[in-house]
A and B are shown apart, each in its own frame.
Chain A
Amino acid sequence: EVQLVQSGPEVKKSGESLKISCRASGYIFSRYWISWVRQMPGKGLEWMGRIDPSDSNVNYSPPVQGHVTISHDKSVSTAYLQWSSLKASDTAFYFCARHRRGSGDDAFDVWGQGTVVSVS
């Protein structure tokens, strides 16, 4: 079964660092781009960025560029989203999602269960 399993909930303070994970199983990790999507409390979905696990090519949305880093580790089929200095406004649900085809320009067909991040 194709799955994305995300790391557990996080409670942090402003200024702290954080790295959340998204572990893939059931398919060849390097063949499909992974995106990260943010959902602030009571709000809609916002695309944050994507990574190509075959060559580490990354694209970010302008609002998060420079504030987050998307990376991966092919040896453990895992994508990551990290912050070096959290802000209270980073409080949100974060989802990873797999792109349906290999191009990275496509629908998100498999989603992780989400990781809630709370920053005070």
Chain B
Amino acid sequence: DSGVTQTPKHLITATGQRVTLRCSPRSGDLSVYWYQQSLDQGLQFLIQYYNGEERAKGNILERFSAQQFPDLHSELNLSSLELGDSALYFCASSVVGGWAETQYFGPGTRLLVL
């Protein structure tokens, strides 16, 4: 158990809908990362937050957005969903996001868009 929790575990929705994925980092970690893992794209970095502020952006679509709240949990919002958004979404956390730090991954949320 990494100490990172993600809810829900599974999500099934329809095209055009909007969903919110939730992540709680390890106790004491200030930095949160979101990744998308799919068969054709592999593991893609989406976005990083540090202590409530956006720090880095990766291959995140404009239809996707995220935020980190004062209690440090984070939410990833996916809107106008398309079939191709079906994937496993991981959250990871680290202490401050330093470049030698280990990222601790949650178990993921499996999203299926029908």
A binds B: no
Interface residues of B (CB under 8 A from A): none
